[in-house]
Structure 1
Amino acid sequence: MKIAAIFLSLFLLSKPLLPLLEYAAFYDYIKNELCENKEAPELQCNGKCHLAKQIVKAGDSENSNEKNQSFKVEISIVYFQETTHNDAVLLSKDENLKISTSYNNTYKFHYTDVVFHPPLA
């Protein structure tokens, strides 16, 4: 797996170098046939004009690939905790109304007969 990753990274990094390697391999053909300035030998272009066009074309293809790619990352966090019946206190309606604690046994509200009237305007 590491070898494949190294090979892939070297291939991606060497992509801009491919026009240079092609220029070196086919120097005579590019110099004599593809050079745009072969009528003006005093410029000593020797096919560098073709090389410059190929490098620009390789750079444009990389930029167009980068523009067309869009990355979307969606992260879903799922959490589930099973509740057991031992954790929850299940009481019937009658038991919910009559909870006996020491506070309920000692406290009594004595003012139940007094009716609250709002102030007269």
Structure 2
Amino acid sequence: MSIQSIYQLGVIGYFQVNKTYIAEVLCINKDKPLLSCHGKCFLKRNLNERDKTDTARALGKNKVEIPTFIVTEACTLLLRCATSYVTNSTYTTIYAFTYTPFTFHPPCCPLNKV
């Protein structure tokens, strides 16, 4: 996809650099000045040719679908091993936690009330 974008950028860049030459020599509609094509037909034709070849290549390719997740037996064995452990019954929590719904704010400084 990025190669296609680079090619289109190259064609557009070539068109911008050589506008006068393309309008005078390569333009299909140079005999019809009322259309005021100025070489845009050349640009359109080159971009369309590249799009046709890219779509033809894309249709010829086989698409391969890759699964996003594969479940294996190794994963389930690891989970069983990790969950089996021995707890120490003599260990106790030494701290206590009490939840308070308000936040403590210290008193204001008396200098700010001046």
Q: TM-score, normalised by structure 1?
A: 0.46
